[in-house]
Amino acid sequence: MDTNMEDVGRVPAELTSSNFEPTTIPTLDGWIESLMNCKQLAESDVQRLCEKVGGPTIIPPAVYHRDRARAGLASRNSKPPLPLSLSLPPSAATVGKGRSAEGLSAREVLQDESNVQPVKCPVTVCGDIHGQFHDLMELFKIGGSNPDTNYLFMGDYVDRGYYSVETVTLLVALKIRYPNRITILRGNHESRQITQVYGFYDECLRKYGNANVWKYFTDLFDYLPLTALIDNQIFCLHGGLSPSIDTLDNIRALDRIQEVPHEGPMCDLLWSDPDDRCGWGISPRGAGYTFGQDISEAFNHNNGLTLIARAHQLVMEGYNWSQDRNVVTIFSAPNYCYRCGNQAAIMEIDEHLKYTFLQFDPCPRAGEPMVSRRTPDYFL
């Protein structure tokens, strides 16, 4: 289907700001109920979910801009905060635990979060999902429903699977409904360039007849936090470390509100991988680096960390320790691409920072062939 990129994201006349009402809790709950049944939202509802349309504005005291100011960046290098409605409910930074950010869009919730988003225990940490919606439902069945269970997802919600639209829409809706119960980080697939190659763009065209929903989400991806820090001890991110980053404050100083660059520290955080060889190496992925045990040990020591938890790599048992247990990889898409035969896993961290891994197999689906376990092909 041909798409005029100049029309992508343009608001149709019937969706002007005068037709938009603040998103209420009953509305969110209705959307979540539909999404849990794998029913996509209307295009106008996706827009309401992702971005505020119209209305008077104020400047919010966003954590993102506070972090950059503390890091000593000149204001001319900072992008202005996104405007909020004057009739704001409590912001995502001040709502009580488990309360909804009622009336806010996802962009407004996410922009108020840090590049190193603090997370408290207990929490369940999850790896790649990649549009495997029914397996996400299996994950919630194994790990517990939200908001009863606190979740931290480490990126790659879209591409490859058949239900990227439903998967990412559900996670974003849950983020607005329970902003302090669920944390969603950015992965290397939360990118305009990558999603045009690996499926999300084409899925949006197929399901909506245009690329507007793709644009709403890829614009939103720019606001996703890059990393999270669990009780100041467990550092979570999608990919890995960067030779440009020595401290967590280096990460807090980054301007994340942009497309994922081809190189540099932001790129590295989303693309790098641990390696058996010491030091830094050239990544076979063509982006990011490989890093050895000496690198992860030094980073953990310098930042007072006990563990780096990351995703990004398919591991056949769903999780894999490496680098003398300085790093753990978690992968939460079982039978990846519906053919790899791998198990998936999530990591439960209790209030004492003790962790347990829960492994699970694909959710049974009628007509899906059984796949034997084998060494998979290399994937981005």
- Let me know: does 224 contact 186? Beta carbons within 8 Å: yes
d(CA 178, CA 157): 18
Check if 262 is active-site: no
- How many CB atoms are closer than 10 A to CB 198? 19
Q: Which residues pair with 291 in a beta bridge?
A: 274, 280
Task: Kindly state the tokens that stand for 280.
Answer: 């830094």
Q: Quick one: which of 194, 187, 193, 188 has its CA closest to 171?
A: 187
Q: From the candidates 189, 238, 262, 312, which is the catalytic residue?
A: 189
CA distances from 104 to 88, 231, 318, 360 (A): 8, 27, 35, 34
User: Which residue type is seen at 318?
Assistant: G
With a CB cutoff of 8 Å and minimum separation 6, the contacts of 53 are: 11, 15, 16, 17, 20, 47
d(CA 232, CA 235): 8
CA distances from 150 to 108, 312, 379 (A): 21, 21, 29
DSSP string, 227-259: EEEETTTEEEESS---TT-SSHHHHHTS--SSP
CA distances from 157 to 172, 256, 257, 287, 366 (A): 10, 18, 18, 19, 23
* Residues acting as catalytic residues: 189
